[in-house]
Amino acid sequence: MSWNLSSDRPIFVQLVEHIEFDIVSGTLPPGGRFPSVRELASDASVNPNTMQRALSELERKGLLRTERTSGRFVTDDENAITSLKKELASSGVDGFVGQMKQLGLAKDEVLELVSEKY
């Protein structure tokens, strides 16, 4: 995983968002084994306690599960993944639409631009 963490937002939040994106994009497949806390923390260059906090939050959200003797796994609940994907997409669209309105573009102009770029 490539971690591009910035100092302008809490690291914990960025870790959660990064892993959520990897889950919805399929980089971390449903039901797949999840790396250890120490491995992830080392890879992201963060404190293991910070990584543990992020993983606990993802477990609370139902995106990860822990099996006592086997480690962590990405959820295989497709509904949870689809729901998160829609939530992330909606949030991105909200920001985009807000910016387009600030630029004074009409809906038809925005749709045309999106169609060209897509």
Residue 11 and residue 59 share a domain:
yes
Do 71 and 94 lie in one domain? The reply is no
Number of domains in the chain: 2
The candidate with the shortest Cα–Cα distance to 38, out of 49, 29, 22, is: 49
Give yes or no: residues 62 and 118 share one domain: no
Q: Are residues 16 and 45 in the same domain?
A: yes
| Same domain, yes or no: 41 and 98 | no
User: Is 81 among the domain residues?
Assistant: no
What pTM, to 2 d.p., does this model score? 0.81
Please provide the average confidence, as pLDDT, over all residues in the chain: 92
Mean pLDDT for 101-105 is 94
Residue 103 pLDDT: 94
Q: Is the pLDDT of residue 2 over 80?
A: no
**What's the pLDDT score for residue 61?**
94
Mean pLDDT score, 52-79: 93
Same domain, 54 and 102: no
- pLDDT at residue 6 in the model: 83
Residue 33 DSSP label:
B
Q: Do 72 and 90 fall within a single domain? A: no
Domain that holds residue 24: 7-76
d(CA 18, CA 69): 26
Within a domain: 1: no
- Token pair of 110 as six digits: 């925005």
Which tens digits make up the pLDDT trace of 36-48?
999 999 999 999 9
Burial letters for 75-107: b for 16+ Cβ neighbours within 10 Å, e otherwise? Answer: beeeebbeebbeeeeeeeeeeeeeebeeeeeee
Write out pLDDT tens, residues 48-65. Answer: 999 999 999 999 999 999
pLDDT at 1: 64
